[in-house]
């Protein structure tokens, strides 16, 4: 049984969009389990000394990113429209996934919320948008939303973000393979999805 | 005849190393010409507000980069040793390539100087190291070194750096396909080498 791959993502993150849309199907094909790990980039960026998203702070990098993302989505056949507001996160969406990470509706909900932002240009910080995406997957959306916003479940997103910093994550999407005991690998960026899956299967050129 | 791909690189740039070692063979196989465009990242980074290399300014990003580079080199069968000093540039090497970009010794010299830094941990800012790499490729190394450090040839590296900023480049390696008249595409990062070559051949998912 191959080790699971942790998928660390933030709903605001542009390059997380194609990764989020592709990862479950790619992992199913490879026979690798995915552990969904939403976190917030804001505290991570602030700790590193960024004042905003690098794509906002460095405009040339931001201009490039939007064109690159357009090309990447075309390659993978993913619908894409540049959001009219960026970065646009969803704390509620991230709390829901952090609270219920192992439930089977999570992959579909993650895809739906990313598509709301990067395909349909909807405000994913609006609770009504989140509820709509969730209600498409589960019967008791309102109960889960209420529980995810209250302790003890609310704490899980904060824990994820603290853990992301401790693991050395600095951006999203990131993939983590392995564990602290026997050593782990980090892979950063949508470009590294296939490599992370290959690493989980032991198919890699470099032995530790 | 496909359009040439401009290869924008900086000798200090870590991710430019695997790109520099791979690009000529990949381009030859694809039937695409490469235009070598060395530039200096220092002025570009300063203009964007960085205080140093992003890999120095953001330590988590730097730690990740070295491990990622090790994995990339293993995948491509490229020898790699982490340099004892980073970033380590070669203004003389960049001046030589900018001055003589179209001469046939350039691809071999570029590879030799990158290997000196990232395989052999040698100080590529040392004129003796540059001379040794150049002398392996041309008979009149000393004459070219003298000419590259005097006007009018010396100006060419400055011109390249000014042009890199004007084109919207913000890092290295970068690849540019097309021209200002009919539109051009930028591709940033060693990961994008194959995509840039495919674009030059008209094999891409997205039409402008």
**What are the tens digits of pLDDT across the range B20-33?**
999 999 999 999 99
Q: What angle do CA B122, B125, B128 make, to 5 degrees?
A: 75
Q: Is some CB atom of chain B closer than 8 A to the CB atom of A167?
A: no
Q: Is the pLDDT of residue A208 over 50?
A: no
A84 burial class (0-12, 13-18, 19+ CB within 10 angstroms)?
exposed
pLDDT tens figures, A25-77: 999 999 999 999 999 999 998 988 888 888 998 899 999 999 999 999 999 99
Among A168, A188, A205, the residue with its CB nearest the CB of B75 is A205
Asked if A64's CB is within 8 angstroms of B49's CB, the reply is: no
String of DSSP letters for B80-94: ----SSSS---HHHH
Optimal mutation site among A206, A207, A208, interface B, most CBs of chain B within 10 A: A206
Minimal C-alpha gap between B63 and chain A (Å): 9
Distances (CA, A) of A134 to A25, A30, A119: 20, 27, 17
Nearest CA in chain B to A77: B205
Q: Is some CB atom of chain A closer than 8 A to the CB atom of B166?
A: no
Q: What is the Cα–Cα distance from A36 to A109, expressed in whole angstroms? A: 11
Asked if B204's CB is within 8 angstroms of A67's CB, the reply is: no
- Domain positions in chain A are 5-200
pLDDT tens figures, B130-164: 999 999 999 999 999 999 999 999 999 999 999 99
Is residue B13 part of the annotated active site? The answer reads yes
Q: Tell which B residues from 62 to 121 touch A, by Cβ distance under 8 Å.
A: 63-64, 67-68, 70-71, 74-75
Interface predicted TM-score of the whole assembly (ipTM), two decimals: 0.93
- What rounded mean pLDDT belongs to chain B? 95
* Beta-carbon contacts below 8 Å between A and B: 65
Task: Work out the pLDDT band at B1, boundaries 50, 70, 90.
Answer: low
The b-or-e profile of A170-188 (16+ CB within 10 A means b, else e) is bbbbbbbbbeeeeebbbbb
Q: What is the pLDDT of residue A179?
A: 85
- Report, at the CATH architecture level, how domain B5-200 is classified: 3-Layer(aba) Sandwich (3.40)
pLDDT tens figures, A143-174: 999 999 999 999 999 999 999 999 999 999 99
Q: Is the pLDDT of residue B207 over 60?
A: no
- Look at residue B174 and give its three-state secondary structure: strand
- Look at residue B13 and give its three-state secondary structure: coil
Q: Is the pLDDT of residue A207 over 70?
A: no
Q: What is the Cα–Cα distance from A87 to B172, expressed in whole angstroms? A: 25
Over range B3-25, report the average pLDDT.
97
């Amino acid at each position: 049984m191959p080790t699971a791959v942790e998928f660390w993502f933030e709903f605001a993150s542009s390059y997380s969009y194609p990764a989020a849309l592709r990862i479950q199907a790619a992992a199913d094909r490879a026979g690798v389990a995915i552990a969904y790990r939403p976190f917030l980039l804001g505290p991570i960026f602030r700790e590193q000394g960024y004042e905003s998203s690098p794509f906002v702070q460095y405009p040339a990098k931001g201009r490039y990113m939007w064109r690159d993302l357009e090309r990447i989505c075309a390659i993978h056949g993913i619908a894409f429209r540049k959001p009219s507001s960026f970065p646009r996160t969803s704390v509620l969406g991230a709390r829901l996934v952090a609270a219920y990470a192992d439930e089977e509706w999570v992959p579909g909900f993650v895809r739906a919320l990313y598509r709301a932002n990067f395909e349909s240009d909807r405000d994913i910080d609006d609770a009504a948008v989140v509820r709509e995406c969730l209600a498409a997957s589960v019967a008791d959306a309102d109960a889960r939303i209420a529980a995810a916003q209250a302790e003890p479940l609310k704490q899980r997103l904060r824990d994820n973000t603290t853990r992301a910093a401790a693991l050395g994550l600095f951006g999203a999407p990131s993939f983590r393979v392995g564990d602290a005991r026997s050593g782990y690998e980090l892979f950063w960026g949508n470009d590294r999805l296939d490599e992370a899956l290959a690493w989980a299967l032991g198919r890699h050129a470099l032995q530790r």
